[in-house]
Structure 1
């Protein structure tokens, strides 16, 4: 497939200054799409942004993705991540790529192009375990990570289950499910004075913390004098 021709056919496309074989376009006022073709013309890397746009960041992400051939090929993982990225004052420390079945950027418009594009975005290492299957990758990419928002904070890899005897809140079943950092902090803050309550959470390395209140604090079975702090949670989740 001729990727360059397919991109040109989109319309209203301009070249990205300082980056060969790269183009950007805006399908509507809130969005800017940027795409760089691989050196052999057989694959491309696309970064989308909404509301806030930074041409320098987009160029840096596309350059990094192309250098590492991030997410290239049909055998690529649903979510791939390469650390070592930095740009300006942003706190991002990696670039991630979603595979064609995950992102669907050109689904319904140009299926052939869709199958030759990685959706790349600036990311944080704490957001990825590295073994995400297709179902998890779609959930994380489309509902949690907000990959098109360049001002976003980290969304750490976090699975949790909990029960609170005072509020009556709790998770369903014995398995830990994906949740967000703010939910973890909220449930930790509600534990005190709730005998029999607990919060159990897991980070990207599969490390598990179990925090209980039974008249005093227990963290992984060890008594603690103070309630778990936000810094403990951030450190456990390896947030930057």
Structure 2
């Protein structure tokens, strides 16, 4: 890998300012809704970047960059689609981790400076329940780009969730025999639609590979055990590993 002068590469962008209170770090806003922030590691050979959309919080971004730099998150693990380090907290936010993705996933500088892209690790505040550690590169890219909304600092957890279902009343079902990625609001909707639909089921999997099959037989039946009350959202989130 050719050495990159990261400071020069970043400051070549228009409107770049030093990041307040953080040495060897900069931020810039290519359009009003986005703010990009980057900090060089201690050796000066790699960098961490946080992108935010709509709700830039300088303190939170600084904390993520400092945490990433201190723990050298993702260093030497470029082949892993997600690197997740628990133990991060900031203010009233509910985040409990910082996640990192390699250049092949984030592609932040592709089309502008490929050499810089190759030495940048994208980092963002996250929730541990969002990752299994078994994601393929394609799965990580899909979730990073289309599900997790890593640039939204106010976001709730998007738990790791695979699901398949079939509903005899709505005639809705998933495609194929495998569980696919979805969001917990879809899971909640399909569980609610089981009511009064005998022969229907919803099957879902969490980050640990634990699987629940929920069916309707006059009441909800979970893995063969009849439930006396409807399944609550709290129970669902706890099953997915996301607890407050």
TM-score (norm 2): 0.96
Residue of structure 1 equivalent to 2:91: 88
Residue of structure 2 equivalent to 1:143: 146
Residue of structure 2 equivalent to 1:5: 8
Q: Does 1:97 align with 2:100?
A: yes
Work out whether residues 132 and 207 of structure 2, in 8 Å CA contact, stay in contact via their aligned partners in 1: yes
Q: Show CA shifts across 1:138-196 (max 9, x none).
A: 01100000000001110000000000000000111111000001000000101011000
Instruction: Give the 3-state SS of the residue equivalent to 1:19 in structure 2.
Output: coil
Aligned counterparts of 2:65 and 2:80: Cα–Cα separation in 1: 19
Question: How far did residue 224 of structure 1 move?
Answer: 1.6
Question: How far did residue 217 of structure 1 move?
Answer: 2.3
Structure 2 alignment gaps of length 5 or more:
none
Q: 1:38 to 1:109 in 2, by over 3 A?
A: same
Q: Does 1:36 align with 2:50?
A: no
Q: CA RMSD in A?
A: 1.0
Residue of structure 1 equivalent to 2:129: 126
Aligned counterparts of 2:78 and 2:34: Cα–Cα separation in 1: 30
Residue of structure 1 equivalent to 2:22: 19
Which deviates more, 44-53 or 15-24?
Answer: 15-24
Q: Count the aligned residue pairs.
A: 240
Which deviates more, 12-21 or 116-125?
Answer: 12-21
Instruction: Give the 3-state SS of the residue equivalent to 1:24 in structure 2.
Output: strand
Q: Does 1:175 align with 2:178?
A: yes
TM-score (norm 1): 0.97
Question: Which residues in structure 2 correspond to 1:212-231 (within 5 Å)?
Answer: 212-231=215-234
Aligned counterparts of 1:151 and 1:75: Cα–Cα separation in 2: 27
Which deviates more, 79-88 or 218-227?
Answer: 218-227
Aligned counterparts of 1:73 and 1:23: Cα–Cα separation in 2: 24
Question: Which residues in structure 2 correspond to 1:161-240 (within 5 Å)?
Answer: 161-240=164-243
Q: Does 1:55 align with 2:58?
A: yes
Structure 1 alignment gaps of length 5 or more:
none
Instruction: Give the 3-state SS of the residue equivalent to 1:139 in structure 2.
Output: helix
Aligned counterparts of 1:129 and 1:144: Cα–Cα separation in 2: 15
